[in-house]
Amino acid sequence: MMRALRLAALAAALVGLGAGTALADPAGADIGLTLNPVLGGIHDSFNDTIHLPPVPVPLLDASAHVGPFEVVTFGVPVTAAVPYTDAIQGAVALRLMIVDATLRVWGGRFGVGVGQTLYNQTTHYATADSYAASGDERQYSRITGAHYELAMRTPFRAGTLETSLRYAPVLLGTQVSTYGSGAPSRFDPERGEQIDGSMRYKHRIGPHEDAVLGVRYVNFTAAYDIPSRPLSDRNCALMPSIGYLWRP
């Protein structure tokens, strides 16, 4: 009930903010690709800390706007397995997919938004955990939830400077663990949250093209949704980005 009231209040604020923006603003859209190398990335799981390699994560993004309303989406396609070494479970290979969408309403240079975040993650451990120590382990995890956003954009030189701060207070999902030894699969509920912020500069390089330079910070934490709340996953990273946008 309280969540429904908060969403209703936010919707009212969105409508009120949008009302002050000229509805005659032209419609438009863009689509692009950025590469985002992971700097200082940290992954916590199984009570040990892994420093992630500087892999250039590809992000696809697209947006469309009509008047004060804008839909912004971005995502990571299913990646090739990213290898690293875990102090407890040896060689690890990680595959990740992200889908993220936000509806924004702009009032001048400021906007607010609400949307949905979805993570799909597959991890292969060469050595299984204590539930099946004799065989390899694969974990499949899907976690999703709503996020809320504050955004700002302002003209800067021959382009636009954009900033965004978002918070996802509740992300829910299930982690499924399977074992090469034939041990029974496990199903563990997860509950997480995420804070992420970004700043990017879009510089016009042609009538329909923009170059993009920016930086993004992500801090994601999830725990098993049981009374003791043990850590299941924590990912923290700073990612500079460079890319290209095309405007039809």
Under DSSP, the state recorded for 9 is: H
Q: Give first-to-last CA distance, the chain, whole Å.
A: 42
Q: Say if CB 202 and CB 160 are below 8 A apart.
A: yes
Element (H, E) at 7: helix 2-19
In Å, what is the CA distance from 84 to each residue of 71, 73, 81, 95, 222? Answer: 35, 29, 10, 12, 20
Rounded to whole angstroms, the Cα distance separating 55 from 59 reads: 12
Q: Say if CB 76 and CB 57 are below 8 A apart.
A: yes
- 42 is in which domain, residue-wise? 2-246
Confidence (pLDDT) at 24: 41
Question: For the stretch 211-226, what's the b/e string if a residue is b when 16 or more beta carbons lie within 10 angstroms of its beta carbon?
Answer: bbebebebebbbbbee
Question: How many domains is the chain built from?
Answer: 1
CATH number, domain containing residue 148 = 2.40.128.90
pLDDT tens-digit series, residues 135-186? 678 889 999 999 999 999 999 988 999 999 999 999 999 999 888 777 888 8
Q: Whole-prediction pTM value? A: 0.81
pLDDT higher than threshold 70 for residue 68? yes
Tally of CB atoms within 10 A around 198? 19
